[in-house]
Structure 1
Amino acid sequence: MAVSASFPRRFGLLLYPEFEVLDVAGPIEALIGLSQRGYEDMKLSIISHTLDPVSPGLNDFGRAIRYLPTHTFETAPQLDVLLVPGGLGTIEGIPSPDKPRIDDYVDYVRKAYRGYDGHEPLQYIFSVCNGALVLGKAGVLDGQKATTNKAAWKLITPSAPKAHWVASARWVESGNVWTTSGVSAGADGMLAWMASLLPDKLVTEVADGMEWQRVWSSDDDPFAELNGCEDVLPEEE
């Protein structure tokens, strides 16, 4: 199968303390699978506020897991795609000794999306779960359709009052902005994003390699009804 020269190669993963592990693992697993099928030149940068190890945990069990950033906000390279996971670290008011200012992450997302200091704008930005809250605060979702974690629907949707929040969606494509529902939905959204750019046969091989039971419809999200979520329309000017 021919390799696409136009498919993005430079990926970034934004990490902050108390991120959700599966938000990261699902999409990254799909990208790893693709990198093993002709796209070995893909690059991944792991970006955080410092180069210190980043833990997803609120307690000793979770803090035993540590991820190592490769770049800070200041040293982050040019990216084509930025992945923003969710997690309790985006929610202010939850005490933690490790939590940095989420506004610093919001500022980086805002700049990376639009381009800054010689960096070109992102080709795509992709959020999982309440990672959409960071995109919302950065203004990325203004005028866009979006979705997010359904259990925290009423907490997250006010972050982007100019967005149309789609309750029934497992993932939403809105121009170059992709948002997904909670946790496991990130893998389905990433596979859908890949399929929008690559032959579906290749993406199916990636999903089969993950032994992932793929959700094919973007509107197939039972957790919206479970949590009583309804669409939130953009505020009128």
Structure 2
Amino acid sequence: MRPIEHSVGVLVFDGMKMLDLSGPAEVFSEANRYGAHYRLTLVSVGGSAVSSSIGVRVPVDADATDAPAFDTLLVVGGDEVPRGPVDADLAAAARTLASRAGRVASICTGAFVLGAAGLLDGRRATTHWQHTELLARRCPTARVEPDALFVRDGSLYTSAGVTAGIDLALALVEQEHGPDLTRSVARSLVVYMQRAGGQSQFSASLRGPVPQTPVLRQIQDAVQADPTADHSLQALAARVRVSPRHLTRMFRTELDTTPMRYVELIRFDMAKALLDAGHNATEAAARSGFPSYESLRRAFARHLGISPTKYRRRFGTTGPGVAVSEGLSAIR
């Protein structure tokens, strides 16, 4: 028996990120080879073809106002979307299409379109790691999760940057067709069915905002200048001539963290940079002030959900080697 057709509407616009469209589209197309029946329909405001981020014109199938109800609505993102107010007609189209869809999903900065349409109010959501803070400001009632690859809140889905749209599409396929078919799709596309860790592993830094209080800036400078020195709570308090209790209160008030967590975050960023530069995990631990590889491993598990060794394999080189063989064997 032919499987029941599942209609997927994709709301596109000028300047859209091409991979936001092509990544999920390939997942659905590949799923059809294994027995699914997804039908994609591209819609835009006015029904006109749109220009993509790589300059390719993309024809569409229908005007958003005339489009039928979809089982799934996908809203793609684009580099310009977070930089200013979302076009009112685009937001209205998303709101109208979403009201008739079985489930709604955004790819990358498409979350800003959903936010402008009021669809993130009171909901959990995510977007590209570079824009999570901005999304939280634009949508103050939304609960933005900065490290998630994708977030589900009922029938609403939002995904992180660009290729996370593939992760999300695989999750949507698994809902309809289970893990076996989805695993076949992932293997065929040579992607992980579920990637380890969150999107922080792809971000430039986990460091929080720069302290405004001179005392806290002094501590930040001291740790960055010599991460291997004694930066215990007592040593930090003595350095800036305040009590440990008062220093802890200052960190809580301004940065919503503790002195020790802040020191670990600076050391973690340094270790991450050392791994990026080609140092092994043991060297990175020693040079960034961690007492042992094991303590660095625990920090990586807390912040990224993967080990320092796996991080280095993923981001140390694009050449052939351990990372490639490890990745392919995991996918198979």
**TM-score, structure 2 normalization:** 0.58
Paired with 1:190 and 1:33, the residues of 2 have a C-alpha distance of: 11
Paired residue total: 208
Q: Matched residue of 1:186: which SS? A: helix
Equivalent pair of 1:188/1:214 in contact (CA under 8 Å): yes
Q: Which ranges of structure 1 fall in alignment gaps of 5 or more residues? A: 95-100, 115-120, 231-237
Give the corresponding residue for 2:261: none
Paired with 1:75 and 1:26, the residues of 2 have a C-alpha distance of: 26
**Deviation of residue 3 (structure 1)?**
7.2
Change over 3 Å in CA distance of 1:168–1:3 after alignment to 2: farther
**Deviation of residue 199 (structure 1)?**
1.5
- 1:10-39 C-alpha deviation (Å, 9 max, x unpaired): 110111011111111111111111122222
Match of 2:90 among 105, 121, 136: 105
Match of 1:207 among 176, 186, 198: 186
Change over 3 Å in CA distance of 1:45–1:229 after alignment to 2: farther
**What letter corresponds to residue 15 of structure 1 in structure 2?**
V
Give the corresponding residue for 2:10: 13
Change over 3 Å in CA distance of 1:227–1:137 after alignment to 2: farther
Greater fraction helix: 2
Paired with 2:94 and 2:138, the residues of 1 have a C-alpha distance of: 14
Q: Which ranges of structure 2 fall in alignment gaps of 5 or more residues? A: 209-332
Give the corresponding residue for 1:125: 104
Paired with 1:205 and 1:174, the residues of 2 have a C-alpha distance of: 26
Change over 3 Å in CA distance of 1:51–1:122 after alignment to 2: closer
Paired with 1:125 and 1:82, the residues of 2 have a C-alpha distance of: 5
Give the corresponding residue for 1:38: 35
Change over 3 Å in CA distance of 1:30–1:69 after alignment to 2: same
Identity %: 27
Q: Matched residue of 2:129: which SS? A: coil
* Bigger Cα Rg: 2
RMSD: 2.3
Equivalent pair of 1:150/1:227 in contact (CA under 8 Å): no
**Deviation of residue 93 (structure 1)?**
4.5
Instruction: List 4+ stretches of structure 1 deviating above 6 A.
Output: none
Paired with 2:192 and 2:108, the residues of 1 have a C-alpha distance of: 19
Equivalent pair of 1:132/1:147 in contact (CA under 8 Å): yes
**What letter corresponds to residue 110 of structure 1 in structure 2?**
R
Equivalent pair of 1:173/1:179 in contact (CA under 8 Å): yes
**Deviation of residue 226 (structure 1)?**
3.4
Paired with 1:12 and 1:143, the residues of 2 have a C-alpha distance of: 24
Change over 3 Å in CA distance of 1:106–1:69 after alignment to 2: same
- 1:129-149 C-alpha deviation (Å, 9 max, x unpaired): 110001111111112111001
Change over 3 Å in CA distance of 1:150–1:229 after alignment to 2: farther
- 1:132-169 C-alpha deviation (Å, 9 max, x unpaired): 00111111111211100111222222232111111121
Q: Does 1:22 align with 2:1?
A: no
**TM-score, structure 1 normalization:** 0.79
**What letter corresponds to residue 52 of structure 2 in structure 1?**
P
Paired with 1:210 and 1:68, the residues of 2 have a C-alpha distance of: 25
Equivalent pair of 2:129/2:147 in contact (CA under 8 Å): no
- 1:72-100 C-alpha deviation (Å, 9 max, x unpaired): 12221121111111112424559xxxxxx
Q: Which has the higher contact order (CA 8 A, sep 6+)?
A: 1
**Deviation of residue 227 (structure 1)?**
4.4
- 1:176-218 C-alpha deviation (Å, 9 max, x unpaired): 011110011110111122223321010000111111133345x
**What letter corresponds to residue 140 of structure 2 in structure 1?**
P
Equivalent pair of 2:11/2:64 in contact (CA under 8 Å): no
**Deviation of residue 223 (structure 1)?**
4.5
Give the corresponding residue for 2:146: 167
Give the corresponding residue for 1:66: 57
Paired with 2:207 and 2:62, the residues of 1 have a C-alpha distance of: 37
